[in-house]
Structure 1
Amino acid sequence: MAALPQRARIVVVGGGVIGTSVAYHLTQLGETDVVLLEQGRLSGGTTWHAAGLVGQLRASESGTRLVQYSVQLYAELEARTGLSAGYRQCGGVTVARTPERMTQLRRTAASADAYGLECELLTPDEAAQRYPVMRTDDLVGAIWLPGDGKANPTDLTTALAKGARTGGARIHEGVRVTGVRTERGRVTGVVTDQGDVECEVVVNCAGQWAAAVGAMANVTVPLHSAEHFYVVTEAIEGVHPDLPVLRDPDGYTYFKEEVGGLVVGGFEPQAKPWVSPYEIPYPFEFSLLGEDWEHFSILMNNALLRIPALETTGIRKFYNGPESFTPDNHFLLGPAPGLNGFYVGAGFNSVGIASAGGAGRALAEWVVAGEPTSDLLAVDLRRFARFNADVPWLRARVGEVLGLHYEVPWPNREMTTARPFRRSPVHHLHEADRAVFGSRMGWERVNVFAPEGEQPVIEYAWGKQNWLPWSAAEQTATRTGVCVFDQTSFSKYRVSGPDAVAALQWLCTADVDVPVGRAVYTGLLNARGTYESDLTVTRVAPEEFLLVSSAATTVRDLDHLRRHTPAGLDVRYDDITTSLAVFGVMGPHARDLLARLTDADLSDAGFAFGTSRELDLGHARVRATRITYVGELGWELYVPVELAVGVYQAFTAHDDVVRGGYYAIESLRLEKGYRAFGRELTPDFSPVEAGLLFACKLRTDVDFLGREALERLRAEGPARRLVSFVVDDPEAMLWGGELVLLDGEPVGQVTSAAWGATLGACVGLAYVRTPVAEAGYTVDVGGDVHPVSVSTKPLYDPASERVRGPANG
């Protein structure tokens, strides 16, 4: 065995399918000084006992593209490396037992159309033709995805490893990483049981051990293992190598051919968490846990229902191989915040084989380019904070997460475990007012308030849900009176120092060198000219700014700001999220409500839109910013947490004040056409497509990150354009993700949608191919096609007259 090198530019930790894919793609990108370290043997850990399913269609376009690349790679690996990945394109059948599941499958088929992926709706009889050994008399329907397939995990890993070696990577098995060396905020090497390796980059692909490897560098890797079960049966008549992969999500089960028999596995509704990620035994790379037929019974009983031949078929092997899961069922990819040169690719939630090719390439590109080359928001490691790695919290959550694979993916479904967690200072008052809570970045946030006599619960459905009238009342109050929203979960950052202006001018698209007391809306772009965030920047002093962003992006925003601040600038970034509560006072009577509590001049002349200043509100000193995300006259009030209860009670003591939640905010912002980061604004779209060039300082000579690319994109013109729409049929219910058609042909997809009480129908935003037509658009809503009216301008108050207030101050 070759001696361990003393130095390499990049060290990949972990020799499973993810680590070998990253190493392979690094060499494909020209990185030859790569060392991969595996504590056991290649394909150990989770990889060797994975089922090997490769389903292409994912919940997002970016996720689907990632797996599509995996499929292409696996089919070509033998030609590239001389070794087969054991990949077979056999197609996939997914069946529905209930009308609700069939609605989901129709939405899935529409998404496939949006992404250019072949998908066919099937009747039960047609499904039986694709999968003859299946019982179908209890089915409503099915879908057929001919591009789906299966791979042999060990063969795939071996082929990727050979390709990496051919490209110059050095692979060392039987080498255990025991430490990570860092210096002045960046990686300098790894410590192993066979000596140290100096390096510039560490890529943590250690699977279930990734949390422990991360802890060696003080990096949070929130994942937790759960026991995961499947059996392999004896041969069954009619089962052959080209039999499709079968998924029966209503029965929590999947089926894959193996040596004439079936792999029968699934995702039970309530999983069994395994040990803490810091207590995994060593060695364990090729070990299994004990059989648990009692826990497996829900899967086996459903399998017997779907495949009657199993009643008389023997079992060859019971596999109980633990796998790691994350708090939100999406894997972890990208750089560690606060530590340059440390990257993570782990927590693949049972989709590691399907994702490995695309995820390995994406992470390798990220390492080489310093930023992702596509939209990876859903899997970005920085979507989590340190508290998300709390072991008891993770253990409570993982039991729910595994079951999400095959649960009906209800729109606006909320996690139920490990809650409540972070709470606003006035959380107890919301509880007393029958709030229905959702969760974002651990924060308990009001989605909607239930009226007297109603239970504060969500009844999930694909159509109009039970809370819709409650939200409509909150929307109406905001449009006609005054509504108070608790928006404490906003991320809040203090940016200060002699070079704060210079730093923010480089980082922000908008001109933020404004007078003290002004707030500016801006984007943050990458070098490709596409979105990394959007937020408001308020100048509170000559050398100090308050930045306000979405609740979910705290860690990611701060990491982006720090990474992209030009070297040598004297500037400081502080997270002050938990020091301030935020209350939005919105509606045509907002000025009247505030006037009851303050002597400050709130007129347009005395307090113009975009103005921010401190004022006395009752007994409290607060910062008030004249801004709105609902399209009405309004202020956001930033209140020290110790004063929050008193301020909130001062508002709600008035009978004409309505309390509102985030469902109402979503509807109101969509009627107004306001964009949201993560949906309309992503690393796949620029201000050109999003229609936000007005928030870019292109008319100045001030340079900013992404300006060069943005100017090029503006000159080329957008291939897709964001438009507002309203559905003609008031009975249709949209949730986002629906297919948009023009004259019957797919041309785009809805990014956000909600019921708009002011317009009396569902409204939303969608990216469509350019040029934008005047008419002829429809949306596919669970298989039903509805005409929509489309506009490049806001549907509600396009001239923004309402923002100034009823009497204009």
Structure 2
Amino acid sequence: MALPAQVSTVIIGGGIIGCSIAYHLTKLGIRDVLLLERRQLCCGTTWHSVGSVAELRGTRRMTELTRYTAELYRNLEAETGQATGYKKSGSIMLALNRERLMEMERAAALARQFGHDAEMISLADIRDRCPQVVIDDALAGFYISSDGRTNPVDTTQALAKGARMGGAKIVENVEVTGLQVVNGEVRGVLTTEGPVQAESVVLAAGMWGREFGAAHGVSLPLQAAEHFYAVTEPIPGLQPSMPFIRVPDESTYYKEDAGKLLFGCLEKRAKPWALDGIPKDFCFDSLPEDFDHFEPILTAALKRFPLLETAGIQLFFNGPESFTPDGNALMGETPELRNLFVACGLNTVGVMTGGAMGLMMAEWIANRRRPEGFAEYDVARFSPFQSRRSYMRDRTVEALGVLYDVGWPNREHVSARGGRRLPLHHQHKGAHAIFGSRAGWEVPLVFAPDAERAVLQPSYGRQNWVEWAAAEATAADEEAVLFDLSADAKLRVMGAEAVAALHRLGGQNAPPQPGLTTAVWLTATGKIETAVRILTVGNDEAYVLSVPGTERLHRKWLAGAGIAPDAIQTVTSAHGLFLLLGPKVDECLAGVGAGQGAAELRMAEIGYAPAVIAPTSVGGARGVLVLLDSEFAAHAAETLRAAGLVRQGGLYALESLRISVGEPAWPNELGDTVMPQEAGLAQGKMPRTTALVGIALATDTGALYGAEGILCDGRPVGLTSSGAWCHRRGVPVALGFVSNSDGVDAAWLSSGSFSIDMPGGPVKAHLRLIGG
């Protein structure tokens, strides 16, 4: 087939994601679509997917989208005539220990909030639904009746057929060899059959994506890893209605497959594959067997399903899947090249989320803006170094196992750590800091009393660091504390015109004044894009300060809002950033000759270090923000401590401070699914039907971490967004959103009995309206 000379959109890659994007673009009226596949549809990783379709996800938005995926797969045959093999079978997850049981109880509470059909079930219920599975060592099960499974090849072919019916062209055996790029903008593709001009190009090439992107200066952190499963010979009597069984504590899963039993694993230590690049001729291929690696899984499977002892094994399969550093897909327009979109790195859930991802990408391309609730997938969230081979090799070892690990609150990755260190890293380490990773930076979370206890102990109850963070927060109320925020993203905006435009984006139309302000940037629909701090040094110089790793997200957004790219510099590594909180901060600054009590921004010296000092407050504690060159940061911190700065503090204490007084933050409370009025940041003409509230448990019971259900008179009305233990009140506290069709106001909050849906049962809580 001769290729067209010009189209609206070229899609590179014919797996389920590429075909889904093509299908959904035509549904949006963009019919001039060309999908190019280097070999055959599904030939990369789609064809060997297990095909499970689980609907419950971690957010309401993604749960709605996975429900859409299941509905789409059910209806494609009626639309296209191509069967997908979709079957609703339900799923059961087994809990083999108390920790997993608590995780499942939290998931059940989340499902209740989303109106999802999911429940905890007894061992007797498990036996009724799947009599072949041994559950003598199980405590309970988590059952989702709506979960299903689909045939990945047939489903992809149905999407492709639907795309063709909508006007898209799908061409196999044509390789895209490069991009046509003019002034940082993609104008088309180069192929083995000639060039094709296009307004948009979508890279949906799966595990080939990193190499293709790197060849054009685009950073895509993904890496292939080996994924193992086995399929038995036909087993007489195996129930066709068997639910999909997950046993995450054994890293295993099981499903009935045309009278056979398929069982596989997401093992704790994965095997990265093809570190030097994916072979170009890889097509419907498998990888060499590694029985030694798979043997522990087989041993667990024999105990879990004794019928395997007499069943023959038809296939030991090993095939690649691609993974990202945080387990979320890489989606959206790249920050390096305009008009180049990516959709890859699905972390084994490409088929499970294929409908949703295709729909969202089609909307992203058509509207030229990120769909709501999709920030966690934006490719711009990563730093370029995270796509390096050595980093991805180390992180991918952990990537599979994370999917089946207990989802502990505040869980930190243990792999690919230590590459980025703050100027005060050794000082923090000497003070017994427990570090977390933020955008690859080692940041202090909390400081332990001694080196022996400087380890996080995971729990769904109160974790071991809470009393240490409470002491740091108390010191911010009573003494003086240094919080090292040097890992925060820092963008320097230069030029009077650019600085004025920056302030207008935050709703400030007056001429810029030196000082520190908070700016809320809005999307085209009036919702919250992000919240940042603006440190204005003069009318022609300002700094955008935000959470670590947001540099590329914010640069892209500012450029789209009209600020010239050459007026913006990324200066994160060039500057240290300290937050000094507490009533003795002025005394400390005066002791080093940096002034005290000033209500405005000032230039001063801390020891030998020139610094910009701006008054601020966090969580009701007053203090200052200090910006200085990185090479002076360690010296400045030593100088302040010598002058009486009594201790260091970590991120956990800061979270406790802000939550205790009801300060919303991005991305926990402030995001592109939230209106400013709902977050209490603006007054609206109409009553709020959804609103942000502060929450305090009536008793010092358990712990709040976020994603707990909020109940009113026993009915689900909302979710917590973040949680902590409040040193001022002596109870767990949280922020969260509640909804009521008749309006959320103080009268409604005082009229009902509110509680938090926690493992073990609801716990009474007091709610108050935030802002507005």
Q: TM-score range by the shorter chain?
A: over 0.9
**1:189 corresponds to:** 188
- Structure 2: give runs of 5+ residues left out of the alignment: none
Structural mapping, 1:591-740, within 5 Å:
591-600=586-595, 602-603=596-597, 607-608=598-599, 611-654=600-643, 657-693=646-682, 714-740=684-710
Q: SS where residue 199 of structure 1 aligns?
A: strand
Residue 747 of structure 2 corresponds to residue 777 of structure 1: no
1:476 aligned partner: 474
Aligned to 1:741: 711
Partners of 1:627 and 1:506 in 2: CA distance: 21
| TM-aligned CA distance change 1:193 to 1:466, over 3 Å | same
Q: How many Å separate the matches in 2 of 1:719 and 1:372?
A: 25
* 8 Å Cα contact 1:495/1:545 also seen in 2: yes
Alignment of 1:115-264 (within 5 A): 115-264=114-263
2:737 paired residue number: 767
Cα shift readout 1:587-640 (whole Å, capped 9, x = no counterpart): 12211221111252x32xxx22xx322112222210011112332110011111
Q: Deviations over 1:734-784 (max 9, x none)?
A: 111101110000000000001111111111100000333214111112242
Aligned with 2:338: secondary structure? Answer: coil
1:552 aligns with 2:549: yes
Structure 1 residues 501 and 636, CA gap change in structure 2 (3 angstroms): closer
CA distance in 2, matches of 1:143, 1:184: 53
**2:500·2:512 contact (CA, 8 Å) conserved in 1?**
no
User: Following the alignment from structure 1 to structure 2, what is the Cα–Cα distance between the partners of residues 513 and 538?
Assistant: 16
Q: 2 CA distance for matches of 1:238 and 1:112?
A: 33
Whole-angstrom distance in 2 between the partners of 1:455 and 1:614 = 40
AA matched with 1:613? R
2:35 alignment counterpart: 36
The residue number in structure 2 matching 1:62 is: 61
Q: Distance in 2 between matches of 1:254 and 1:80?
A: 32
Pair 1:298 & 2:296 matched: yes
Q: Which amino acid aligns with 1:669?
A: R
Q: Which residue of 1 aligns with 2:408?
A: 410
Residue 52 of structure 2 contacts residue 149 of structure 2 at CA under 8 Å; is this kept in 1?
Answer: yes
Q: Displacement, 1:516? A: 3.4
Letter in 1 for 2:41: L
**Alignment deviations for residues 474-499 of structure 1 (CA, whole Å, 9 cap, x no partner):** 11111111111111011111112242
After TM superposition, give the deviation of residue 237 of structure 1 in Å: 3.7
| Bigger Cα displacement from structure 2, 16-25 vs 572-581 | 572-581
Q: CA deviation at 1:166?
A: 0.6
- 1:507 is aligned to 505
Report the Cα offset of residue 257 of structure 1. Answer: 0.9
- TM-score (norm. length: structure 1): 0.92
Give SS of 2:618's match. coil
The residue number in structure 1 matching 2:390 is: 392
Partner residue of 1:309? 307
Paired AA for residue 591 in structure 2: R
Contact 1:89 1:149 in 2 (8 A): yes
- Which has the larger displacement, 147-156 or 174-183? 174-183
Report the CA distance between 1:543 and its aligned residue: 2.0
Residue deviations 1:357-406, cap 9 Å, x none? 00100010000011123211221111101111010010000010110111
TM-score (norm. length: structure 2): 0.97
Cα-Cα RMSD: 1.6
CA shift for structure 1 position 217: 2.7
Secondary structure in 2 matching 1:492: strand
Q: Which residue of 2 aligns with 1:22?
A: 21
Change beyond 3 A, Cα 1:78–1:646: same
Matched-pair contact (CA < 8 Å) for 2:77–2:84? yes
Shift of 1:538: 2.6
- Give the distance between the partners of 1:659 and 1:239, measured in 2 at CA: 61
Change (3 A) 1:324 1:515: closer
Which of 511, 529, 537 does residue 534 from structure 2 map onto? 537
Instruction: Identify the residue that residue 449 of structure 1 maps to in structure 2.
Output: 447
Deviates more, 1:220-229 or 1:557-566: 557-566
Q: 2:223, 2:396 within 8 Å by CA — same for their partners in 1?
A: yes
- Among the aligned pairs, what percent are the same residue? 38
Task: Identify the match of residue 349 of structure 2 among 336, 348, 351.
Answer: 351
**2 CA distance for matches of 1:514 and 1:767?**
35
**Could you tell me which residue of structure 2 aligns to residue 518 of structure 1?**
515
SS at match of 1:8: strand
Question: Which residue type is aligned with residue 692 of structure 2?
Answer: L
Residue 573 (1) aligns with residue 543 (2): no
> Among 753, 767, 771, which residue is 2:723 paired with?
753
SS at match of 1:431: helix
Q: Distance in 2 between matches of 1:275 and 1:408?
A: 29
Q: CA offsets per residue over residues 166-202 of structure 1, 9 Å max, x none?
A: 1110001001111111111211111112211111111
2:764 alignment counterpart: 787
Provide the residue aligned with 1:319 in structure 2: 317
User: 1:540 offset after TM fit, Å?
Assistant: 1.5
Question: Can you list the C-alpha shifts for 1:666-701, whole angstroms capped at 9, x where unaligned?
Answer: 11110021111111011100211111127xxxxxxx
* Equivalences for residues 318-337 of structure 1 within 5 A: 318-337=316-335
Distance 1:453 1:204 in 2: 47
Q: Structure 1 stretches of 5 or more lacking a match?
A: 695-713, 799-809
Q: 2:362 matched to which residue of 1?
A: 364
Q: CA deviation at 1:416?
A: 0.6
How far residue 515 of structure 1 moved from its aligned partner, in angstroms, is: 4.5
What is the match of residue 561 of structure 2?
Answer: 564
Residue type matched to 1:84 in 2? A
CA contact (8 A) 2:588 2:645 kept: no
Give how far 1:656 is off: 5.7
Contact residue 585 and residue 645 of structure 2 kept, 8 A = no
State which of 572, 577, 584 in structure 1 corresponds to 2:579: 584
Contact persistence 2:434–2:446 (CA under 8 A) = yes
Indicate the larger mover: 237-246 or 302-311: 237-246
Match of 1:425 in 2: 423
Letter in 2 for 1:647: A
Q: How many residues align?
A: 765
Q: How far did 1:8 drift?
A: 1.1
2:96/2:138 contact within 8 Å kept: yes
Counterpart CA distance in 1 for 2:509 and 2:395 is: 41
Tell me what 1:711 maps to.
none
Following TM superposition, by how much is the alpha carbon of 1:55 offset from its aligned partner in structure 2, in angstroms?
0.7
Q: Give, as a single letter, the amino acid of the residue that structure 1 aligns with 2:14.
A: G
- What whole-Å deviation, never above 9, does each CA across 1:428-463 have from its counterpart, x for those lacking one? 111111110001011100001111364211111111
Q: 4+ residue stretches of structure 1 with deviation over 6 A?
A: none
Cα gap change, 1:201 to 1:716, in 2 (>3 Å): farther
Mean Cα deviation higher: 43-52 or 77-86 = 77-86
Relative to structure 1, the CA distance from residue 90 to residue 654 in structure 2 (aligned partners, 3 Å threshold; closer, same or farther) is same
Equivalent position amino acid for 1:156 in 2: T
Would you say the 8 A contact 1:111–1:738 is kept in 2? yes
Question: SS of the counterpart of 1:172?
Answer: strand
Give the Cα–Cα distance (whole angstroms) in 2 for the partners of residues 129 and 733 of structure 1. Answer: 35
User: How far apart, CA to CA, are the structure 2 residues paired with 1:314 and 1:350?
Assistant: 27
Counterparts of 2:525 and 2:34, CA distance in 1: 30
